Amino acid sequence: MIPLCHPYVTNEMRIAVYHTLKTRYIGQGPRVDEFEKDFQRFGGYPVAVGSGTDALHIAYIMAGIRPGDEVLTPVFTCSAANQTLLHMGAELVFVDIDEQLNPDPIDIARKITKSTKAIVTVDYAGLPANYSAIRGLAEKYRIPIIEDSAHAPGAMWGDKVVGSFSDFTTFSFQAIKHITTGDGGMVVCQKEDDARKAKLLRWFGLDREKKLKDMHHWEGDISINGYKYQMTDIAASMGIESLKELDNQLVYRKKLVDKYRELLPSSILLDVPTDRTSANWLMTVLVERREELMAHLEQKGIEVSPLHYRNDRYTILRQFKNYCPNMDMLEHKILCLPLNMQVTEDEVEFISNEIKTFYETK
């Protein structure tokens, strides 16, 4: 089976974990600090946490979202983004998709009100959303953007790297992401004071640096109710080495995507705007007779999946169902093809030929 997704773990990552396990720190320690410092290449002030969901939760708190607040959020994304808002008691307003399956700025403009407290975006498949339009709306209404960039480390909006322009940007280091720590995440703040607060939130509200300086006589206070969201040095040691491989991954993934786009029928391809550069985490196409095609490809040893689903179909989020005509039109066409560091160009050619064969013969 040609895998849809696959973890990318190098020997350097394995060696780094081995050496970390021989040290005093296997929980949060100096490797977490080092990983955060390395991650500054994406701009802002990074704070490492235990998962991408942890990062989202902290970002939502930092953005000031409270129970009952109205939040514009993608209808098409990983459910974690919206389940976290649900835990917080927010009033979700689902935003439709655009041609790239990202949040539609036109729909955001249609649904934004004086009661809107935040806009959540997603950089689907690795392609940044249309921030030229979305940021204009956020600035007009003076509300923060929380950018879920789980798919898009290294992606660019114009000449700006993802992580350098939204109020809060979150990343995921889950097993099959570009950068993996087994599981982990990062929230990037644009203000240093916000990052300090985020560090309190991730560790019970405690000022860890002050406590460690005088561990045996510390008599500090807890002024903010935090969580146990910290990253471990084991995870950070993987992340440090994984981050070094990101540029190579971006080059290889683009090579595979370019091959797909050369070989597949243009009618099933998503348009790629020229003002953005994708990190190419997913190779998504829009196909007719999706279930039949999936069955055909799986018979040929090709793993495929829609991967994400519209969130308002889930029982826990159905109460927030909203008018999303583009999602209605495309939801049964979305399909993701194998794209990872294990896939070869020959396999991309094989997959593309099988898709063309399916539509030519059936």
Express each pLDDT in 291-349 by its tens digit: 999 999 999 999 999 999 999 999 999 999 999 999 999 999 999 999 999 999 999 99
Alpha helices, H only, 22-149: 30-38, 52-62, 79-87, 105-111, 131-141
Give residue-wise pLDDT tens across range 283-300.
999 999 999 999 999 999
Place of tokens 């974990």: 17
pLDDT band at 361 (very low <50, low <70, confident <90, very high): confident
pTM for the structure as a whole? 0.96
pLDDT at 220: 77
Question: Residue 119: pLDDT above 90?
Answer: yes
Question: Residue 210: pLDDT above 90?
Answer: no
Question: Residue 5: pLDDT above 70?
Answer: yes
Q: How large a percentage of the chain has pLDDT more than 70? A: 98
How crowded is residue 156: how many other Cβ atoms within 10 Å of its Cβ?
16
Q: How large a percentage of the chain has pLDDT more than 90? A: 94
Average pLDDT, the chain: 96
In contact, 183 and 204? CB cutoff 8 Å: no
Spatial CA neighbour of 83 closest among 110, 63, 53: 53
Question: Residue 221: pLDDT above 90?
Answer: no
Q: What is the mean pLDDT of residues 104-120?
A: 97
How crowded is residue 47: how many other Cβ atoms within 10 Å of its Cβ?
30
**Nearest-angstrom CA–CA distance, 236 and 48:** 8
pLDDT at 325: 98
pLDDT at 216: 67
Contacts 24+ apart (CB under 8 A), 155-160: 155/123, 155/126, 155/127, 155/128, 155/276, 155/277, 155/278, 155/279, 156/128, 156/276, 156/277, 157/128, 157/131, 157/132, 157/275, 157/276, 158/275, 158/276, 160/43
| Structural tokens at position 234 | 């084991």
Domains in the chain with CATH codes: 11-244 (3.40.640.10), 246-361 (3.90.1150.10)
pLDDT at 267: 96
pLDDT band at 208 (very low <50, low <70, confident <90, very high): confident
In contact, 238 and 117? CB cutoff 8 Å: no
Give residue-wise pLDDT tens across range 229-271.
999 999 999 999 999 999 999 999 999 999 999 999 999 999 9
Of all helices (H) and strands (E), which one includes residue 351? helix 345-361
pLDDT at 209: 78
pLDDT band at 214 (very low <50, low <70, confident <90, very high): low
3-state secondary structure of 89: coil
pLDDT band at 204 (very low <50, low <70, confident <90, very high): very high
pLDDT band at 139 (very low <50, low <70, confident <90, very high): very high
Question: Residue 353: pLDDT above 70?
Answer: yes
In contact, 332 and 340? CB cutoff 8 Å: no
Q: What is the mean pLDDT of residues 162-183?
A: 97
Question: Residue 25: pLDDT above 90?
Answer: yes
**Nearest-angstrom CA–CA distance, 239 and 53:** 17
The residues with which 45 forms a beta bridge, in sequence order, are 189
Q: If 0-12 CB within 10 Å is exposed, 13-18 middle and 19+ buried, where does residue 340 land?
A: buried
Give residue-wise pLDDT tens across range 53-68.
999 999 999 999 999 9
